Amino acid sequence: MILGIAAFLLSNCQPTDDAVGWNADKQMYFAKSDDPEMAEAMHKSRKTVNQFLAALSSGDTIAYNFGVKAAFPIPDGTNEHIWLTDVKASGDSIFGIIDNEPDFTTAVKFGQQVAVHKDSITDWNYTRKGKMVGGYSIRLMRSRMTKEERVQFDQQLKLVIE
């Protein structure tokens, strides 16, 4: 699994206000689809995707655990954002395996191989020397957690987020 723990999902499914935030039971973060900070995190991911692709193709053995997050449609017209693992790239396409059982979308299934255009990803990350590189939505999600949630999250993550 990506990052060594249950896959992180970002669901933009218009949750009720009391549902917004980290759900430890589901290992899922709910954000409103009009969340400006999350939109900025996704924009930053797209803007820096070539950095991710360069690391992916470098063959550098101290960089590992590559993943990208992509959006898949759900019936209410919004998206479920799911991490892809076992990532490879060719041209402008990124190929990966759906890393968890989707909760809302029926467009993909756990374990399915999919291709996404590099400009449509909603996040990316990899591990380098025990530290997370990228992971802009993860960083935002973590910054919104309570101290107790962050401690539990960091213990599960087992890598450093600077």
* 87-112 pLDDT per residue, tens: 999 999 999 999 999 999 999 999 99
The answer to the question of residue 13 being in a domain is yes
- Residue 152: Cβ within 10 Å count: 14
Is position 23 within any domain? yes
Who's near 3: CB < 8 A, 6+ residues apart?
65, 67, 125, 127, 132, 138, 157, 159
Q: What is the pTM of this model?
A: 0.84
Per-residue confidence band for 158, with pLDDT thresholds at 50, 70 and 90: confident
Q: Is residue 81 within 8 Å of 9, Cβ to Cβ? A: yes
Question: Residue 152 falls within a domain, yes or no?
Answer: yes
Comparing CA positions, the residue from 129, 136, 112 lying closest to residue 52 is 136
Residue 162 lies in a domain: no
Q: Is residue 117 part of a domain?
A: yes
Instruction: Write down the residue that tokens 């409103």 correspond to.
Output: 32
CA distance 127 to 3: 8
Does 103 map to a domain? yes
Give the domain extent around 54.
2-157
Residue 139, φ and ψ in degrees, nearest 5: -60, -45
More confident residue, 89 or 162: 89
Q: Count structural domains, the chain.
A: 1
DSSP state of 150: H
Tokens, residue 26: 């589901």
DSSP symbols for 2-14: GGGSSPPEEEES-
